[in-house]
Amino acid sequence: MTDTTERTPLLKVEHLSKEFPAEAGMFAKRFSKRVVSAVNDISFEIYPGETFGLVGESGCGKSTTGRSIMRLTKPTAGKVFFEGRDISEMNKHELKDMRREMQFIFQDPYASLNPRMTIGEIVSEPMTIHNVGTKEERMETVRELLDVVGLNPEHINRYPHEFSGGQRQRVGIARAFALKPKLIICDEPVSALDVSIQAQVLNLLKDLQDKFGTAYLFIAHDLSVVQHISDRVGVMYLGKLVELSDWKTLYTEPHHPYTQSLLSAVPVPDPDIQRTRKRIILAGDPPSPLDPPSGCRFHTRCPMASERCSQDQPSFNEVAPGHFCACHYAEPFPIKESHIDL
């Protein structure tokens, strides 16, 4: 693991929060106090060329984080710095320039491609918008990109409905790489795909990263997927970042009880171990983000929770170099019987 402290971050997220009004309607915004706090005060950094994995169960705010960074939704509070410039303060033109350097890969390969455009039009659209090259040059780039992502460049005039889910996701990846951006936000790019296709797409993303040196913010709910691709991993629970570390440490010595329980839920492909190993089973459903628990948001389900946890909100402390954790009782929990091949 390279020492992250000495490099300048590509993306810096500071105290980002996003709240949605809980009631719709023309007066709700002004008069209603009820809000869904989707993302609450999270901070992290992404360095050039690395992959930052963001995991958590559905509804914990991972996607909202990604969308706020991209300014697809406007954050309620906090700052996002891309190469030192604050995204939330940018005007239309600055935002457009910034979007050359930052692209998005979507979860659903069926919804993310316009059914009325050909593959060539879809992949070349970022270049068209940013006036890169002539039409012929753009089409040449599209052919190269299709080749790189493993699609037949002859299919440039086909429509998305003529492709399978995995192929469509490759089209989405080709589109994200069209402008050779510095950062790509991958919002669960493989969770809609078959397991066999998942591995192919993950390997493709890895190869492309080696080739172009792109940094990824890789959002997923599947720890085993994140493990394959990430340099560092952040774990989210109910809109909060609870633990952040390089992935080896996180997978072998998770400090936060939530991370520990998540890791103990990853199935082990060995029936003998799977049957006998210790699992931490969380009781109940995650609380509603409409009415988050006081103190530590995890205390309602935490096996270690005490009186203090329901009152004091734990701060996000550095428990070891480069390893942050938000828990009053953070302590390493070595996973001895880990199946993870280090």
Q: Which of 294, 268, 299 is nearest to 283 (CA)?
A: 299
Q: Name the minimum Å distance from CB 70 to another protein.
A: 5
Q: Which residue's CB is nearer to another protein, number 70 or number 149?
A: 70
Q: Which residue's CB is nearer to another protein, number 105 or number 305?
A: 105
Q: Which residue's CB is nearer to another protein, number 26 or number 283?
A: 26
Q: Name the minimum Å distance from CB 75 to another protein.
A: 15
Q: Which residue's CB is nearer to another protein, number 161 or number 275?
A: 161
Q: Name the minimum Å distance from CB 126 to another protein.
A: 5
Is 58 buried (19+), middle (13-18) or exposed (0-12) by CB count in 10 A?
exposed
Q: Which residue's CB is nearer to another protein, number 99 or number 138?
A: 99
Q: Which residues bind another protein (CB under 8 A)?
A: 26, 67, 70, 72, 95-97, 99-100, 102-104, 106-108, 111-118, 125-126, 129-130, 157-159, 161-162, 172, 175
Which residue's structure tokens are 């390997």?
Answer: 203
Q: Name the minimum Å distance from CB 148 to another protein.
A: 19
Q: Which of 52, 102, 44 is nearest to 229 (CA)?
A: 52
What angle, 0 to 180 degrees and rounded to 10, lies between the N-to-C axes of helices 165-177 and 119-129?
20
Whole-number Å distance between alpha carbons of 37 and 20: 7
Q: Name the minimum Å distance from CB 223 to another protein.
A: 24
Q: Which of 220, 120, 113 is nearest to 169 (CA)?
A: 113
CA angle 62, 79, 1 (to 5 degrees): 60
